[in-house]
Structure 1
Amino acid sequence: MTTTIRSVETFRLRVPRDNGAPTERFRAAPRVRSIYPTADELLLVRIATDDHVGWGEALAPASPEAPGALIDEVFAPFLVGVDIAAGARPLTRRLQQTGRERGHLSGIQADAIAAVDIALWDLFGQVTALPVKTLLGGANVDAVPVYMSEVNGASAHAKAATAALLYERGMERFKVHLVGPPEIALAEYDVVRSEVGTSRLALDAHWVHGAGDARRLARGLDERGAWFLEAPLAPEDVDGHVRLAAYSGTSIAIGEAMRHRFEFAQWAGAGAMAIAQPDLGRTGITEAISIATIMGAHHIPLAPHHSMASGIAYAAALHVSAAVDDLLAVEWGPRIAERSDSFLDVAFLEPIGTSGAWIEGGVVAVPAGAGLGIHVDEEAVRRLAAG
């Protein structure tokens, strides 16, 4: 059996949603700072030896072509001919150094490395016949708690109805996306709260607020016993988050826009966060483990973020989550399976149930097979990538 990397391939997938045929590729939501694609845009990476294949993914919903080109032009030539037998970590660290003066741990460079890193860990697991969670030193749990973040709808009552259906099935952790002014957001929060009983309910503000509105929102959430407040201020405003965290009794959750341990260390050291939310599609596995170690030193739990990537990045998040010492819960929603089922066996993405009810408020089992433990339909990937 050879352990030499023979090929590195990237695949840009565009998976349509059930929203008609939009004329534009991107759309900006009211009050939200970012743009979003009108279809699910994915970047997958396949790294292979003669005998084994590893799959990875970057969270790159608005520009998968950019990190894909970096992988094709820079990382692939570096990796082909390299032996995977020593593991993924040293290769990832070397890739990080290739762009030291070009934002080597941030932005598109980091997204590209994240995809390659996940694929390297999957490949190393295939070669060793061990799950990634074992390669990381062992798992603390076989299943991880999740929270439902796709509490969607055109109105607060529609959001509440979505949450109510899952609450009836046993889900006990939710996050609602509310970007209106504080008074409106709190009124909508109350509507959803009325349908989910004593469940934990968090609010994601998508970075829309200034300092005054963020304080008013935090005060209202304190009164309501909210689970956490995510992304209340601009993502570059460390000092603002420090002041808000000191003011708020509700835990401030931050991290989806960050990509490396130095950012997380800065925010944690300043007292700007109470919950860390690294996204494996932006950090990869190697960096996520470093982030978890630093967060552990600050007694800050992890709640891995997951929004618009597929089940490949989600599987990586499950393995990391099972291996870290202080896990709060992992973001989850049915759309992860929906955007993945054309090329991936998505059975592992369904919360574990007994007699139709989800147990322990909603948990997802960590795949037990070699590497990530997932099954990718390579022919389907190639077909989708070809358009």
Structure 2
Amino acid sequence: MHIAEVRAYVLKLAHDQVYLGRLDDGSELTEDRGYVVRAPWRSLYASRFETLLVAITASDGTTGWGEALAPVGPEIPAEIVSRLLRPTLIGARVGGVRPAWHRLRDLMRERGHLTGHQADALAAVDIALWDLLGRQRGVPVAELLGGAFRGTVPAYVSGLPADTDEARAALAADWAARGVTLIKLHLGRGVREDLATVDAVLAADERLRVAVDAHWAYGVSDAARLGTALQRRERVAFLEAPLAPEDVEGHRELQRRLDLPVAIGETLRNAYEFRHWLDRRALRVAQPDVARTGLTEALSIAELAAAHHVPVAPHHSVGLGVATAAGLHLAAALPDMPYFEYQPTTWEAASRVLRAPLVGTPGTGLPLPEGPGLGVDIDEDFVIRHATVHPSAHRSAHHPSADPSENR
């Protein structure tokens, strides 16, 4: 059995609610504005859910699906899949996932491309290869990864998309009433402002704990002030991404000054990067995102984290149904996995590419999708119909044209 075809699909799906809600100035992030920086954070954000899906089809017609976390410019990793990875994959043996991973990773490795868009493209392909193998063998991906430690994945709610602390507290109280015990706040707006939000949310329900994602906004001194104040509040689980993402030594210094765990990982793509952070003791919670690392590399990262006695809490932001399913299978297969990141708006949007919606709530836990492979059924007609970029050079005869007028 060999790989017969590899197809890349770029999706940009409008949704009722924008990821993380309105901008801080109160304005809406609308499609006509294009990509914008969500001040005070530095990164570009899109008004739509943008992603890259990859379909890998075997010679017997079985198809496996993968997804890259590509919330801005998914056309870029799509080109990498089509131009660089596909030619190496065509004709390869189905089932040789790890050999394929090493072969594909080495294609641009010596040119400095183990990270960034190349890594995102590799992640999508790797997930698709695991899904394909699971479907052919009739077993879930978690079993292929060595077996599931849990059938239901504990989760925390990530984000309270409201404009005021009063409104955020109301949302938090509603989540608490539904059994949620941990909420991550997307902050980084200033130490005083962040602490005020934390206090408002903690006051909403005494059962709640919070975590703080500072979105890389602070220097060491302010991050230490914030972290010291947070750990006095007791019901704070961790401080995520407090400093610039390349500042390993700054995070090491900060973690040495705090008892509160520092959580890092969404920007890191491979075990070499994670090893440096872990060896420097610059984090106490590792947060790899499977749609940026792939499943193969995520397992290597998890083993490194285990050797440093660091739990792995997978990151998940705007990945749709395939990335979500892959993240859940990874989370199920890890021994020291305290919680999975549940984005309410993403969870709603994620099922649009699936024939049957994802199930579960963060209050009761997220069940591992049942069935072979990733356990989700991709609505290929929907994907093809909504793809804004379609690899016409690699299109099979039964696939319709990708005329952009069809994607409105």
Q: TM-score if structure 2 supplies the norm length? A: 0.90
Shift of 1:349: 4.0
Aligned residue in 2 for 1:115: 124
In the alignment, which of 384, 387, 394 is matched to residue 382 of structure 1? 384
- Decide whether aligned partners of structure 1 residues 248 and 183 sit closer, same or farther in structure 2, where only a CA change above 3 A counts: same
* Contact kept? 2:351, 2:357, Cα under 8 Å: no
Q: Which runs of 5+ in 1 are unaligned?
A: 353-357
Q: Secondary structure at the match of 2:352?
A: coil
Distance in 1 between residues matched to 2:202 and 2:321, nearest whole Å: 29
* 1:221 paired to 2:230: yes
Aligned residue in 2 for 1:347: 357
* More displaced 10-residue stretch of structure 1: 173-182 or 291-300: 173-182
* 1:152 paired to 2:150: no
In the alignment, which of 362, 369, 372 is matched to residue 370 of structure 1? 372
Aligned residue in 2 for 1:200: 209
Aligned residue in 1 for 2:218: 209
- Percent of matched pairs sharing the same residue: 43
* Contact kept? 1:152, 1:176, Cα under 8 Å: no
Shift of 1:289: 0.3
Shift of 1:221: 0.3
* 1:234 paired to 2:247: no
Distance in 2 between residues matched to 1:235 and 1:209, nearest whole Å: 11
In the alignment, which of 300, 303, 306 is matched to residue 293 of structure 1? 303
- Decide whether aligned partners of structure 1 residues 238 and 346 sit closer, same or farther in structure 2, where only a CA change above 3 A counts: farther
For 1:9, the aligned partner's letter is R
Q: Which runs of 5+ in 2 are unaligned?
A: 19-27, 388-401
* 1:93 paired to 2:91: no
Q: Secondary structure at the match of 2:361?
A: coil
Q: Secondary structure at the match of 1:315?
A: helix
* More displaced 10-residue stretch of structure 1: 10-19 or 302-311: 10-19
* More displaced 10-residue stretch of structure 1: 147-156 or 57-66: 147-156
* 1:307 paired to 2:354: no
Residues 233-252 of structure 1 aligned to structure 2 (within 5 Å): 233-252=243-262
- Decide whether aligned partners of structure 1 residues 346 and 227 sit closer, same or farther in structure 2, where only a CA change above 3 A counts: farther
Shift of 1:346: 5.3
Residue deviations 1:127-183 (CA, integer Å, cap 9, x gap): 111110000111111111110002221111222222211110101121011121101
Distance in 2 between residues matched to 1:196 and 1:262, nearest whole Å: 41
Residues 1-387 of structure 1 aligned to structure 2 (within 5 Å): 3-18=1-16, 21-49=30-58, 50-85=60-95, 87-225=96-234, 226-345=236-355, 347-351=357-361, 358-359=363-364, 363-385=365-387, 386=402, 387=407
Shift of 1:118: 0.3
Q: Which runs of 4+ in 1 moved over 4 A?
A: none
Distance in 2 between residues matched to 1:219 and 1:337, nearest whole Å: 33
- Decide whether aligned partners of structure 1 residues 346 and 33 sit closer, same or farther in structure 2, where only a CA change above 3 A counts: farther
Shift of 1:249: 1.6
Number of residue pairs matched? 376
Shift of 1:22: 3.2
